[in-house]
Chain A
Amino acid sequence: MTISAVLILYGITSLGFIVYLFLRKEALQMPLRILFISCTAFHLLFVLTLWYQNGQLPMESPAQAVNMLVLFSSLAFIPIALRKKTAVLAAFFLPIASFALGSIAPLVQPGVDLLSGSYQYWYPLHTLSVIAGEALFVVASTTSVVYLIHERIIRKGSIHSAMSALPPLTLLDSILYTSLALGFFAISVGMILGGLWASALGLSFRSIAPKVLAGALMWLVFGLSLHQRFAIGWKGRRTAIITLIGFVVMVLLFIGINLAFPDSHGIRLI
């Protein structure tokens, strides 16, 4: 199993869902479901192979983290893609997933960017929690984009356009809330585990500060959107906008900090 095969499957599935977005042919649903499951299963198989070949969880480099994020996001998207009303959301997620996977594909090969050294057993727990949280934020962000597009269509009254057959706003809001809440929980757990790990290794706060502060900022943005929802009833558009801002912050921090402070995080610190 190679990353190229996984990438091709992602590309085909993306195209299939984009065609479905515009045509909305019921007959396409079942083949697309099978394609989506297959492409996620093959991706999982690829990661497991990588793990077996490298002998460690393939998450040491930013490229491998992105690979893992795409896999986790696809796993989180399975219940959405299988549901008739929400399957169309995959048409917005898969092209971005394919692009992300394509841009890091050369860096995710067995043996590439492999770091030696022991790390404590809960390091994977920290990273898995954080990646799971981030994957759920990917789901929330995709849902936010669809929410904002659909809301605009409804406000303009273009409900008969090709793009208008999107899930109803209340359903999108419900997916948004669920993914935000679960993602926030996972990120919180990941941050606690990360703190414990750093403390056990005796790392100074200064050495990990850039990414911890960035993570805390992201955590605050998502926390804020959940708080506003419960405290003053922010539903729908405002939550979607905050989520998107949070997602942009997450992406910028990921790229920016890995470029500016390549050694500020991960097992390179050991």
Chain B
Amino acid sequence: MDHICCISINHKNAPVDIRERFRIEPTDMLSILGKDSEAYTLNTCNRTEVYWTAIEKEMIYDLLERISGIDKATIYQVSEYFTGSQAVHHLFMVVSALDSLVIGEPQILGQVKDAYRKALAANTTSTILNKAIHRAFRAAKRIRTETSIGAYSVSVASEAVELATHIFGDITLSRVLVIGAGNMADIAAKRLKDRGVNTLVIMNRTHNTACELARELSGTAKPFESLEEELSLSDIVISSTGSQHPIITRDMVLTAMKLRKNRPIIIIDIAVPRDVDPAAGKCYNCYLYDIDALKSIVDRHFAHREAEAATAMSIITAEVDKYERWISSLTAQATIKDLFSLVDTYIEDQVRNMPLPEAEKAVVEQSLRSSFKRLLHRPVNFLKEHPGTTYIEYMRRIFQLDEDFSDRHKG
């Protein structure tokens, strides 16, 4: 049985300037996809991941080298390689947002689903990966409903709003500037809007994107060039761009503070790398918080988070175990064994309920066994001759050999 393998280039090992060079689509995989192999690719702002079965690892590295233009030695350094249950575990962690930069963030599930749709359209996934991805969705759903880890990401945005409230009190009259259109900035802006903020200014290097977000949030889009002017007018600034260098410097904040006569300003920098020079936080009446500061506030708030994380991990482990059990059952021999076991259970149930003496029951049981054996002879032989994953999967589904399929016919 082919195991799942995975190469992950993510925020933990690769800086943004490396990460942004990797973008691999399912169609890129077609050239190296064999008859029985499968592939699934995932691209987000914090990670690029390739999952596959039955492909040589080096072929994937070659493909990544070709796409990114980065030499293989560097790719080895900045990537993580998982195989077997480790790869499944990693996939489940990613889909459940436990491997995300902001633990529990809700966007990743949508991104994984989008990537899966692309993979289905390109026909690059089959039994093994389909099952793994569906299991991952199930694990993510369980974690979201059985733990409060999902509240954590919303909390990062909520903490930003909470901090602003501690400074300004009533924030409905505050002017809010959102720079960039990242997910967290989007959530934070929505939170502020929910709290009744009236004046929302959106700024992005791509002005059209700013206009779209401004339309969505009933705000105003401003060109990126007016950043300095907006700094002097805004009370709350949320920045989340993909810039490699600070877009707000200490001098800019000093000038803005002078123009705003030291009226307090709160700057929430959610970008990685940071959008705001940390020295700007030393300016008088400027309150600067980066993502780490916000996360530490949330961590302190969520004192029970450790317990929640432990629950989430136990869910992941349980779901990986289930998947592993399914994988190990995915051989012709195991399927035939499960099939006969099912028949035995069925016959025993039937005979037990017959109003016959024990001696006659034994005869009937023997007769039934013989009939079922003859009935199953052809499908079992077919399975032995064609021990492919697809047929095994069909056989298991037809006879409902896995718990997953049994409940579909209830009621």
Q: Which residues of A are interface residues toward B (Cβ below 8 A)?
A: 85, 150, 153-155, 157-160, 164, 167-171, 233-238
Instruction: Kindly identify which residue among A164, A233, A236, A238 contacts B166, using a CB–CB cutoff of 8 Å.
Output: A164
The yes or no answer to B65 lying at the interface (CB within 8 A) is no
Instruction: Kindly identify which residue among A150, A155, A160 contacts B300, using a CB–CB cutoff of 8 Å.
Output: A160
**A170 contacts B169, C-beta separation under 8 Å:** yes
**A233 contacts B167, C-beta separation under 8 Å:** no
B13 to chain A, nearest CB (A): 28
In the complex where A157-B293, A158-B300 touch, is A168 in contact with B262 (Cβ < 8 A)?
A: no
**B297 contacts A157, C-beta separation under 8 Å:** yes
A157 and chain B: residue at smallest CB distance: B297
**A169 contacts B300, C-beta separation under 8 Å:** no
- In the bound assembly, the distance between CA atoms of A170 and B235 in angstroms comes to 12
- In the bound assembly, the distance between CA atoms of A153 and B162 in angstroms comes to 13
In the complex where A155-B287, A157-B289, A159-B163 touch, is A170 in contact with B168 (Cβ < 8 A)?
A: yes
A236 and chain B: residue at smallest CB distance: B285
Within 8 A of A (CB), among B284-299: 284-285, 287, 289, 293-294, 296-297
A230 and chain B: residue at smallest CB distance: B261
**B301 contacts A169, C-beta separation under 8 Å:** no
**B285 contacts A150, C-beta separation under 8 Å:** no
Within 8 A of A (CB), among B262-316: 262-264, 284-285, 287, 289, 293-294, 296-297, 300-301
- In the bound assembly, the distance between CA atoms of A197 and B262 in angstroms comes to 42
Residues of the A chain whose Cβ atoms lie less than 8 Å from the Cβ of B168: 168-170
Residues of the B chain whose Cβ atoms lie less than 8 Å from the Cβ of A238: 284
Main secondary structure of the interface of B (DSSP, over half): helix
Residues of the A chain whose Cβ atoms lie less than 8 Å from the Cβ of B169: 85, 167-168, 170-171
**A234 contacts B262, C-beta separation under 8 Å:** yes
Q: Which residues of B are interface residues toward A (Cβ below 8 A)?
A: 159, 162-163, 165-170, 258, 261-264, 284-285, 287, 289, 293-294, 296-297, 300-301
Residues of the B chain whose Cβ atoms lie less than 8 Å from the Cβ of A153: 166
Instruction: Kindly identify which residue among B162, B262, B289, B300 contacts A235, using a CB–CB cutoff of 8 Å.
Output: B262
**A154 contacts B300, C-beta separation under 8 Å:** no
Residues of the A chain whose Cβ atoms lie less than 8 Å from the Cβ of B262: 233-236
**A168 contacts B167, C-beta separation under 8 Å:** yes
Of B166, B170, B262, B294, the most chain A CB neighbours within 10 A belong to B166
A57 to chain B, nearest CB (A): 40
Residue pairs across A and B with CB atoms within 8 Å: the count is 58
**Lowest 7 A-B CB distances belong to which pairs?**
A168-B169, A233-B261, A233-B262, A157-B297, A160-B301, A169-B167, A235-B262
**A154 contacts B285, C-beta separation under 8 Å:** no
A154 and chain B: residue at smallest CB distance: B166
B283 to chain A, nearest CB (A): 12
**A168 contacts B165, C-beta separation under 8 Å:** yes
16 pairs, A vs B, C-beta closer than 8 Å:
A155-B287, A157-B163, A157-B294, A157-B300, A158-B297, A158-B300, A159-B162, A159-B166, A169-B166, A169-B264, A170-B169, A233-B258, A233-B262, A233-B263, A234-B262, A236-B285
Instruction: Kindly identify which residue among B258, B261, B296 contacts A157, using a CB–CB cutoff of 8 Å.
Output: B296
- In the bound assembly, the distance between CA atoms of A167 and B300 in angstroms comes to 21
- In the bound assembly, the distance between CA atoms of A234 and B293 in angstroms comes to 27
Instruction: Kindly identify which residue among B170, B258, B285, B297 contacts A159, using a CB–CB cutoff of 8 Å.
Output: B297
A158 and chain B: residue at smallest CB distance: B300
- In the bound assembly, the distance between CA atoms of A223 and B106 in angstroms comes to 54
- In the bound assembly, the distance between CA atoms of A98 and B308 in angstroms comes to 46
- In the bound assembly, the distance between CA atoms of A85 and B166 in angstroms comes to 12
Residues of the B chain whose Cβ atoms lie less than 8 Å from the Cβ of A155: 287
Residues of the B chain whose Cβ atoms lie less than 8 Å from the Cβ of A150: 166
**B166 contacts A168, C-beta separation under 8 Å:** yes
Of A164, A167, A235, the most chain B CB neighbours within 10 A belong to A235
B296 and chain A: residue at smallest CB distance: A157
A178 to chain B, nearest CB (A): 15
Instruction: Kindly identify which residue among B261, B263, B287 contacts A154, using a CB–CB cutoff of 8 Å.
Output: B287
- In the bound assembly, the distance between CA atoms of A150 and B264 in angstroms comes to 14
- In the bound assembly, the distance between CA atoms of A153 and B287 in angstroms comes to 12
A23 to chain B, nearest CB (A): 19
Of B165, B167, B293, the most chain A CB neighbours within 10 A belong to B167
- 10 further contact pairs, Cβ within 8 A, besides A159-B162, A167-B169, A168-B170: A150-B166, A154-B287, A157-B293, A159-B297, A168-B169, A169-B264, A171-B169, A235-B264, A236-B262, A236-B264
